[in-house]
Chain A
Amino acid sequence: MSFLFSKKPKKNPTRLFFATDLHGSERTFRKFINAGRFYDVNVIVMGGDIQGKLMIPIIKEPNGHYRATVQGRVEHLSTEEELKGLMGKLDILGFYYKVMEEDEFKSLQADPKAVSGLFSELARQKLANWVSLAEERLNGTGIKCFVTGGNDDEWEVLSVMKREDTKSFFACENEVVHVDDDHTMISIGISTPTPWKTPRETTEEKLGAMIEKMAALIPDMNKAIFNFHDPPKDSTLDTCPQLDWSKDPPEQIVVGGQVVLHGAGSRSVREAIEKYKPMLGLHGHIHESQSVAKIGRTTCINPGSEYAEGVLRGCLVTFVDGEVQGYQMTSG
């Protein structure tokens, strides 16, 4: 009779923490790495757009003082302590910076290629430091950290993440990775076109083809996670102001005093989710559209982003045997 009362051995659920769109913010990245232990999770996943957007030249003046333009204002720094304070502030904001003489600044101003080179160099440097930091902090914890790029990240910069010697940190873009014994994840950081013409954009058709190619590698779709930077179209994960693409920078379209909102996500991503019905969809891209939506059986999540404020927005997801048991949005 004992067979009637015997329980099937219960599997331990996997706890995953997802965050996205840090855009170079040092403080937010450190919070992300520490979130693994803080929230007691098995896996942490970063959904792309990790590269910063702005570089601040800190110009050394002949009198030994420094000046830098931050958010439209020129800050004059006379002591090393003030310089250190400014660097800390720029780290939080996710801006790259370099101390340089006036001559170097002027020559950079006249040479867009050199500016682009310096951007890449500083971004690679920062990302390399982040990989090392993640390895150091996660060493011995058993927590796996998966990071993909987003549409704002350059291929050349992302290549820094591809290291053979890492034990906790894994660059997961265009790879099928095992987040635990049962569940697999595919990651795509490229998005459909944006008004900013960012480094990694493609057409809906090509993105759809990329997804098809990756999806074919998944052994069990019921236990699959789609980590796609671009959210599914018209899913509430992608609601943002509609922009006038003819302006540089793009401007919000205002009708009758109200900003016009629309779904800026990807049709191909939505179609893939509807077709393959994975367990979980992890998305980002639209910072202001923090949301969770069910598309068929798939739980789709966009935790949003407040990187410029130094705030890490994320989502804790618990799943077992191809079922999402629960999720919790976080902010801190």
Chain B
Amino acid sequence: MATATAKPEVFTRKASGLVRVMSPFSAFVYNILTMGLIFPWTYLWAPGALPGGKLVWGILLAMVLEIPIALVYVWLSTALPRSGGDYVFQSRVFGGGVAFTVVMSGYVIWILQWVALSGWLLSYLGFAPLFLGLGATMNSAAMSNLGIWFTGSTGIIVTSILNAFVSALILISGFKNYVRFQNVMIVGTLLAFFTMLVVLFMGNPSTSVAHLDAFAKAIAGVDNFVQTARDASVAAGVDLNPPFSMIATLLVAPIAWTSLQWATYSAQQNGEIKNARSFKDQMFIIVGSLIFTGILLALLAAALEKAVGTEFLYIAGAGYWSGVGEATIAGFWLWPTSSLLRSPPARWWSSSSAWVTSSTRTRSSITATSA
């Protein structure tokens, strides 16, 4: 039985009853945006922290490990298709006291950190590379300085507050408006993501080195940046060509899992999802979004390694993990994709993607606490 969206061919009569506002497709999108497609720790932190680990395999392993958990949520959602998700599931099994404690600590308190963290994401990984890139492309010191301001604590705090404020305004206007807004966000995210994929797959390590060197020269006046960073990393004891490590590959999975675990997040909104009792729809929403996002994350990791080479990922990680100052640009931890994108429109997309991803997580955290 195939399904598709189209103009409804139904007849209704005048009768009382409210309408659920979220279609299964919207819930699928909600999960993708909540998982996020560009989370930095998988790409930037994992190679530096886990030498010899294979990013792509680690991400795919995380996806596979999450499938049984996702299936549990599918069955629970089918059996109890009500608002509240985890609270409803746990209170029915363990009682209200346990459910309140677990959900309060697991969702309300834990997720509130995302209000702050998404501000950091937006500022550090969204606005900073955008304005640094514009500064380099347009030869504008003002733009570059603005980019650097977004990497500092003042820029991050101001951005976080404004981000939380805008997110709150959207949510305050009602969940229906959030559902409308996320349609814009998914289009922006996918356009940004696929632009990034194309640019990365078309690149290779030698051209990337030239772009990075030019970028570092324009922003921080550093000559021969990549070679300098490489030498400093080696001097700091960073192994740039570690042998394959199964343990490190397995340990990449939990890092990628911090994103992919959110495939079950739509369960909190079951009360607003049309036909939430349908097993097929819940499979599409939860397992479908997990596999879709897992594959895109793995593709991005593959594209990134192709564009900059595995060695450079260790150099980029050295700036963060080993405190190698030469492996940063004006103190900015490297986020290779941003500086590899050559045209300003591509940088805009990159930035909008970061904004979309980070602000979505903020909104998700707020909807969770208000659910």
Name A's B-contacting residues (CB within 8 A). 23, 49, 51, 53-57, 59, 67-78, 82, 85-86, 105, 108, 115-116, 118-119, 151-152, 194-199, 241, 243, 249-252, 254, 256-258, 285, 287, 309-310
A-contact 0/1 string along B171-191, CB 8 Å cutoff: 111101000000000000000
What is the count of residue pairs linking A and B with beta-carbon distances less than 8 angstroms? 103
User: Can you report 11 A-B residue pairs in the complex whose CB atoms are below 8 A from each other?
Assistant: A49-B16, A53-B17, A56-B10, A69-B6, A70-B275, A71-B23, A72-B8, A119-B11, A198-B16, A251-B176, A257-B174
Bound-complex Cα distance A151 to B13 (A): 13
User: How far is it, in angstroms, between the C-alpha of A73 and the C-alpha of B275 when the chains are bound?
Assistant: 10
The chain B residue sitting closest to A83, CB to CB, is: B1
Q: Is the interface of A mostly helix, strand, loop or mixed?
A: mixed
Q: For B6, list chain A residues within 8 Å (CB).
A: 69, 73-74
Q: Which single residue of chain A is at the shortest CB-CB distance from B9?
A: A69
Question: Which residues 296-353 in B have Cβ within 8 Å of A in the complex?
Answer: none
Other-chain residue from A54, A76, A152, A241 in contact with B11 (beta carbon distance below 8 A) = A54
- With an 8 A cutoff between CB atoms, is B18 at the interface? yes
Q: Which residue of B lies closest to A55 (CB)?
A: B11
Q: Enumerate chain A residues within 8 angstroms of B274, measured Cβ to Cβ.
A: 71-72
Q: Interface residue tally of chain B, by bracket?
A: 20 to 34
B202 within 8 A of A: no
- Collect the chain A residues with CB atoms within 8 Å of residue B23's CB: 71-73
Least CB distance from A116 to B in Å reads 7
Q: Is the CB of B3 within 8 A of A76?
A: yes
A54 and B10 contact, CB distance less than 8 A: yes
B2 at the interface (CB under 8 A from A): yes
Name which residue of chain B comes closest to A77, CB basis.
Answer: B1
User: How far apart are A26's CB and chain B's nearest CB, in angstroms?
Assistant: 15
Alpha-carbon gap, A151 to B17, bound state (A): 12
Chain A residues with Cβ below 8 Å from B9 are: 57, 59, 67-69, 74, 105
Q: Which residue of A lies closest to B15 (CB)?
A: A53
Q: Does A196 lie within 8 Å of B4, measured CB to CB?
A: no
Q: Given A152-B16, A194-B16, A55–B10 Cβ distance below 8 Å?
A: yes
Tell me whether B17 and A75 are in contact (CB under 8 A).
no
List of A residues within 8 angstroms of B275 by Cβ: 70-71
- 6 closest A-B pairs by beta carbon, nearest first, are A257-B172, A53-B15, A55-B11, A254-B174, A74-B6, A152-B15
CA distance A195 to B174 in the complex (A): 20
Give, as a whole number of angstroms, the nearest-CB distance from A25 to chain B: 12
